[in-house]
Amino acid sequence: MRPPTPADRGGRLLGSPVVSGSARGVASAGGGSGPAALPAALLAAPAAQALAILPDDPRRLFGDGLSTGGCFARPLPIDTTCAAAARRYFREAVSSLALPSGLVHDGVTMASELAANTLHAQRNAARSPSRHKATGIPEMWLYLRGTGRTRELVCKVFDTERGWNAGTAPGMVKAPVDSVSGRGLQVVAGLSAGQWGCHLSRSRLGNWRVPGKAVWFALRIPPAAVPDYLGQPRYSPEVLTDELEVMLADRGLASGIVRADSDDLSVLSLSRHLTVWRYGEVVSWRSAAGSYQQRALADLVDVAEHIVCAHEEVAYPSQAQRP
């Protein structure tokens, strides 16, 4: 299979697994990995406590702040406080950005609706024996992508129920006019001007890395509100490729990555279904339909998320959804 060239365009996302121990820096500083390398308190703690005491990973280049180019990730409670928690997290995440108050208000509203939506999904999964059972904690993620007039703030809420109701587009079954519930995703669709959707993904927090779905929206940020350098990692393509490999391993794909480097080209083979090329500052991979997907390496969090989505679409093709 030839590597993609700048002439290749379009395509959807595709995907698959990373060979044990190949991901750089996956082992701990003492050489250990997996449960044996984790603190005893973490193994004994309930889920919420485990998330709270999970140690910081010193290998990572970026923190969880948007201004550092990282992904702000927080667990959401599985009760009626989830919407309030999402509103609080959204404000916390964007506190370092000079966003217009109206944009923040829209984002807070949509984040609240996505959190409420995932609460319904978790309850449905728990009640129905024929559906995928919830095995992880809902999560909220925020990160920046793009530059200048294309800069966007992306907000995603993850849960472990992978699919929507069969035969319907994500969340677009209209509620009655006099209804006081069931409008959440209609609100998101309206406030985001259609920049929203759903895709398969994997969890980020804790030690589970369970599969599920992420429902997301994106807000276009006025160029004057956030400088271009903010949120853009200032490292060489080679260093960013190392970080991308660690990111993919950290999302549970560390059982099949094979990597090769030559001059300005890096190749990450995740499985026979998915190979990722990094040429210069562009990352590309071939979709299941045969076309190429290309992304700027500088949008590292977004690139990793698309590749994880591609992997899950191969693993669960019948459950793949597109915005």
Domain locations in the chain as residue ranges: 66-220, 237-319
Considering only residues 167 and 310, tell me which one the structure prediction assigns the higher pLDDT. 310
Residue of higher predicted confidence among 16 and 173: 173
Amino acid found at 74: R
Rg for the chain, CA atoms, rounded:
19
pLDDT category, 122, cuts 50, 70, 90?
A: low
Average pLDDT over residues 140-162: 92
Question: What are the structure tokens assigned to 11, written together?
Answer: 């395509």
**């660690």: which residue's tokens?**
246
Mean pLDDT of 173-199: 69
* Fold classification of 66-220 (topology level): Heat Shock Protein 90 (3.30.565)
Number of residues written out for the chain: 323
Q: At a CB cut-off of 8 Å and minimum separation 6, what does 119 contact? A: 78, 79, 80, 82, 83, 138
Alpha helices, DSSP H, located in the chain = 40-44, 47-53, 82-94, 101-127, 184-191, 237-248, 300-315
Confidence of residue 228 (pLDDT cuts 50, 70, 90): confident
- Cα–Cα distance measured from residue 229 to residue 97, given in angstroms and rounded to the nearest whole number: 12
In the predicted structure, residue 171 carries a pLDDT above the cut 70: no
Which of 111-120, 138-147, 244-253, 295-304 has the least mean pLDDT? 111-120
Amino acid 255: pLDDT:
80
- Predicted confidence at residue 185, as pLDDT, reads 84
